[in-house]
Chain A
Amino acid sequence: MENVVNMDFLEEIVSYFKRSPSSIIAMLQEIQEKYRYLPKEIFPFLSKSTGLSEARIYSLATFYENFSLEPKGKNIIKVCDGTACHVRKSLPILERLKAKLKLEPGAVTTKDLAFTVEVVACLGACGLSPVITLNGKAYPAMTPDKATELLESLIEVKGE
């Protein structure tokens, strides 16, 4: 975990986008790519660079589900709960993942910052439903048991 935001990196991002306020979302995406969330410390800098108020940037960061103001886990699991996945029982998968990872109600990231479990509306892979992704890789036709296996394989790899 990087605790301090790298100012050179921020400067590079904002100059790449010519400090244009209309590119703020792209800037936020780049920053989130690097830190896996939007650290609070970037707001004053972005505000000064683009001329947008911090409140406006906060508005964007809270509007889009994809942006996170909390540090995300190293592994990101997205559980699709679009219509197709939902009717083919995506929620039991989600419940199992949460139980296995001991996520408290409302929390999406494990305390050791190893896993983040998110619910997404549709991954656009309804033919594979119910589908989840782990770090961008899709796992089709999931069941709660398969999800447990997937988690266990990851934890084993980590444990070795």
Chain B
Amino acid sequence: MKGYMTIDNIPVEIHDERNILELIRKIGIELPTFCYYSELSIHGACRMCLVENEKGGLEAACSEPPRVGHKVWTNTARLRKYRKNILELLLSNHNRDCTVCNKSGECRLQDLALKFGIKNIRYLNTAYTPEPDESSASVSIDRSKCILCGDCIRVCNEIQNVGAIDFAFRGSQMKVATAFGVPMASSPCVGCGQCAAVCPTGAISVKNSLEAVWSDLLDKNTDVTVQIAPAVRVAIGKRMGFEEGQNALGLIVAALKRMGFVKVFDTTLGADMTVEEESKEFLKFVEKTHSLPLFTSCCPAWINYAEKRYPELMGNISTCKSPMQMFGALVKQYYKNNGKRHVHVAVMPCTAKKYEAVRPEFTCDGVPIVDHVLSTQELIRMIEQSGYQFNKLEPEAVDNPFGIVTGAGVIFGVSGGVTEAVLRTLTEDSSNATLLQTAMAGERGMEGLKELQVEYKGKTLSIAVVSGLGNVGRLLEDILSGKKVFDFVEVMACPGGCVCGAGQPYVPLSVKEIRGKGLYAIDKLMSYKRSSDNPLIEDIFSGILKGREHELLHVSYDSQEESTE
């Protein structure tokens, strides 16, 4: 549709905008919303985006399509009054303990109440404080802070196809709940944390391990080491005063060392080890006849999803541990006879990793392989708490003996990266031309499902790269019904891969793509592009891991099923 409509007396050209709100934001007016996300269906519940039309009628800008010749105003006396009233009503039954809330400082309700100058709430305070649901290892749920915008429900249903939560009851009794109000841990929840990422208030927040980490870190009798996942380095910049997607690894390392971590490592080496093990497994796998593909195993939310939804597929998931766990196992071996208590921390873009770390499968000699998982947001908090001015630190390198990593490992953090890394190892040719060809095979990009065909030793391999559990569910149905046949499927639960993980600072999908590009830019600057070229790999496999590769780098998820039977 072409033509113009008028917003605040400014003529605005209509292109393909879905609604007036998109048009309003396009011309630089930040109309407030609680329940609008471009990726989700339109709910129209919060009414903050109301605009006034020529006839004095009120329209929710999010749910009205742009019309040629239509005139709206976004900031009239009436609208101001209503917006303030909506905020007052939302706050009237809201838990107002802002200072001790997990989301304090990042809460949209707090932000808008401040911006609109809400000083006095005229309504009776009907806030109630039910016991928070802390059963999940990934997210905390505090209903006293819920504004019933439904964002969490829609992301859980529409994007992730998990459907763990929905509205229950109605009217003043209405709440967001699991079926029969069971605790989150017993629901179909996979811990992907996307609900926490979109929640505008502190109703759903990512579990916090900061105090536990500080307490170990400041204990004189404990050596604390840390690993940093690839996706973290490109997501921290914006909040710390850099460009989104800029590589901040050096500064993160410097900050962590100052805090007192004895060694700071890069999970990327774990990714290199994963590539090696997974490539070997895949080569064995393609030799055998198979009707179902080999699925990747790096994403813990995907593992949870498969366990809960498609237990029959568990046998087709790679037995490789995730890079975090492989690297953690390596570090724990290295520090085994150190004589001092050793604690290993992982900084991850992910909320499901918090659950992975406490799974009984991931222990070594009776202790957890990774003791604490921090999200990228917690890392930012930690740096803020320590008072370091991030951009005044001097960048430092990660520590030996695990300091050499490859570009293949770095790109694990973006959808398509695992596939590309495995392909690089399989091609056995590290010339630039081959690498370029591999990069062009179709695995890159932010699309939810990418399908590619690769020639390997006279065979054509069918590969699917899928991200976002909603896309995963649809693909699995096609695979199980025989409609689609693949040899290898890379699965990431969050749309776009780890760079878009729920542990990262929240940004819209378009910005997440910049983070992905940031990882590819780091890859470009790496001397080693293929995991198999990493000189440390040979050392590690013939040294510290010798004879124990299977025990330390692979996992079977059957143990839990057996114990429940």
Which residues of chain A have a CB within 8 Å of any CB of chain B? 40, 43, 52-59, 62-63, 69
Subset of 27 A-B contacts with CB under 8 Å: A43-B180, A52-B163, A53-B162, A53-B163, A53-B164, A53-B166, A54-B163, A54-B179, A54-B188, A55-B163, A55-B164, A55-B165, A55-B166, A55-B168, A55-B178, A55-B179, A55-B188, A56-B163, A56-B166, A57-B179, A58-B166, A58-B177, A58-B178, A59-B167, A59-B168, A62-B168, A62-B170
A-B residue pair count with CB separations less than 8 angstroms: 45
Residues of chain B within 8 A of A52, CB atoms compared: 163
Say whether B188 contacts A53, CB under 8 Å: yes
The yes or no answer to B333 lying at the interface (CB within 8 A) is no
Residue of A nearest to B164 (CB): A55
Known A53-B179, A55-B187, A58-B168; 10 more pairs at CB < 8 Å: A43-B180, A53-B188, A54-B179, A55-B163, A56-B157, A56-B166, A59-B167, A59-B168, A62-B168, A62-B170
Instruction: Report the minimum CB–CB distance from B105 to chain A (whole Å).
Output: 31
Complex CA–CA separation, A101 to B188 (angstroms): 40
B residues at A contact (CB < 8 Å): 157, 162-170, 177-180, 187-188
B135 to chain A, nearest CB (A): 15
**Which residues from chain A contact B178 at a C-beta distance below 8 Å?**
55, 58
Quick one: which of B157, B164, B179, B187 has the most chain A CB within 10 A? B179
Complex contact B177–A53 (CB within 8 A):
no
Complex alpha-carbon distance, A63 and B167, angstroms: 9
Bound complex: CA A69 to CA B166 (Å): 17
Residues of chain B lying within 8 A (CB to CB) of residue A53: 157, 162-164, 166, 179, 188
Q: Contact at A43–B169, with CB atoms within 8 Å?
A: no
Evaluate contact between B157 and A58: CB separation under 8 angstroms: no
* Residues on the A chain within 8 Å of B170, using CB: 62-63
B169 touches A63 (CB 8 A): yes
**A-chain residues with CB within 8 Å of residue B180 when the two chains form the complex:** 40, 43, 58, 69
Contact residues in A for B157 (Cβ distance below 8 Å): 53, 56
B165's closest neighbor in chain A, by CB? A55
Pick the contact of A43: B165, B179, B187 (CB < 8 A). Answer: B179
Interface centre among B157, B166, B177, by most A CB within 10 Å?
Answer: B166
Residues of A within 8 A of B166 (CB): 53, 55-56, 58-59
Give the CA-CA distance A128 to B42 in the complex, in Å.
Answer: 45
Tell me the nearest residue of chain A to B174, going by C-beta. A63
Identify the closest chain B residue to A59 (Cβ): B166
Chain B residue numbers with a CB within 8 Å of A56 are 157, 163, 166
Using Cβ atoms and an 8 Å threshold, which residues of chain B touch A55?
A: 163-166, 168, 177-179, 187-188
Q: In angstroms, how far is the closest chain A Cβ from the Cβ of B432?
A: 47
Closest chain A residue to B170 by CB distance? A63
**Chain A residue with the shortest CB-CB distance to B189:** A55
Q: How far is the CA of A69 from the CA of B179 in the complex (A)?
A: 12
Give the Cβ gap from B306 to chain A, nearest Cβ, in Å.
17
- Nearest chain-B residue to A52 (Cβ)? B163
Question: In the bound complex, how far is the Cα of B500 from the Cα of A16, in angstroms?
Answer: 43
Instruction: Looking at the assembled complex, report how far the CB atom of A63 sits from the nearest CB atom of chain B, in whole angstroms.
Output: 5
What's the Cα separation between A43 and B170 when bound, in Å?
A: 20
Considering the chains assembled together, what is the distance between the CA atoms of A69 and B180 in angstroms?
Answer: 9
Q: Cβ of A63: which chain B residues have Cβ within 8 Å of it? A: 167-170
A124 to chain B, nearest CB (A): 21
Closest residue on chain A to residue B178 by CB atoms: A55
A40 to B166, CA, bound (A): 17
Name the CB-closest residue of B to A54: B179
C-alpha spacing A54/B157, complex, angstroms? 11
Chain A, Cβ-Cβ closest to B163: A53
- Chain B residues, Cβ within 8 Å of A58: 166, 168, 177-180
| Bound: A62/B165 CA distance, A | 14
User: What CA separation (Å) do A100 and B216 show in the bound complex?
Assistant: 64
A17 to chain B, nearest CB (A): 20
Q: B144 → chain A, closest Cβ, in Å?
A: 20
CB-CB < 8 A to B163: which residues of A? 52-56
Neighbouring B residues of A62 by C-beta, 8 Å: 168-170
CA distance A78 to B167 in the complex (A): 27
Chain B residues positioned under 8 Å from A43 (CB to CB): 179-180
Closest to B173 in A: A62
